[in-house]
Amino acid sequence: MHFTRALRIQLIPSFFFGAIYPLAVLLILLHARSGLAETIYRSTDSHGRTLYSDIPTPAAKPLQPATPPARSKYRVTRVIDGDTIVLENNKRVRLLGINAPETGNRYHPGEPGGADAKKWLQGKLQGRSVYLEHDRQTHDHYKRMLAHLYLPDGEHINLSLVEKGLAIANLIPPNLLHANTLIRGQQRAETRKLGIWSMQHYQPRPLIKLTEKPFGWQRYRVKAKALKRNHRFSRLIISDNLDLSFANRDLALFPPLETYLNRPLEVRGWVSRRKNHFSIRIQHPSALIPY
């Protein structure tokens, strides 16, 4: 990566792996936000490499930096589970960038670690005031508010849950505020085998073919043998009835998908099913790890 007067930046394929790619884009956006460049443009060259520049070209698309979010203060009246709370105005809030194990209901059993995450969050937030920080989207399709939560002393609750292994980083574009911070927090928890990272239920398992849909978030070891594309999605084919699915609008976050072919991968996420076909949706590079 290099800077010139025009801020023309090229990311080579080997630079995409791990958390380095999101960090590079963040540096570009911070450069734009500083006033040195008003708008950053993204384009793809003839070799399929993604380029960023503050000089527009006919095929380039503008990439506007987000406005720094404001924070609002509310009192917490109830903790529903490890990643969902209720405020004094009866609004539900889903914590951004993370996912805690399910605590269970009449439709599904609880997942290991779900009760621990809820208990910790209750001890931290029940009856206390918190500051909410929003990202690009303020609500999800369930009409819950989406937010990062902070205590008056500055503690970032979303991050604390991840650092303690009580939740996993679950990054969904366009809400990537604090993405690198959450990834680093998760790496620390995983290295120290805290919480879910010590539980047998969440250890990586081989996955080649499925006959039944597994429940909940899991880690799988796979190898992609082919790549297929259509106008909306790109798919890494694992077997005749299993693939990894990427929305084409998210592909700028990833290296060329060809770099994932024929190599061992750990995929983290949820399996969906349509008739006899299974798929795992991948929305951020942190959910697909070469090893």
155 part of the active site: no
User: Which stretches of the chain are DSSP H helices?
Assistant: 20-33, 114-125, 157-163, 179-192
Contact in structure between 150 and 156 (CB atoms under 8 Å): yes
Handedness of CA 114, 120, 123, 128 (dihedral sign): negative
Q: Of residues 133, 144, 163, 219, which has the active-site annotation? A: 144
Give me Rg for the CA atoms of the chain.
Answer: 20
Number of neighbouring beta carbons within 10 Å of residue 199? 14
184 part of the active site: no
Q: Of residues 102, 111, 133, 163, which has the active-site annotation? A: 102
What 3-state DSSP class applies to 91? coil
266 part of the active site: no
Q: Of residues 49, 78, 94, 188, which has the active-site annotation? A: 94
Query: Using omega within 30 degrees of 0 as the cis cutoff, is the peptide bond preceding 101 cis?
Result: no
Contact in structure between 140 and 94 (CB atoms under 8 Å): yes
How would you classify residue 210: left for phi > 0, otherwise alpha for psi between -120 and 50, otherwise beta? beta
Strand partners, 10: 51
Measured between alpha carbons, how far is 174 from 118 in angstroms, rounded to an integer? 27
Contact in structure between 43 and 55 (CB atoms under 8 Å): no
Among 53, 51, 59, smallest CA distance to 36 is for 53
Place of tokens 């990537």: 176
Active site residues: 94, 102, 144
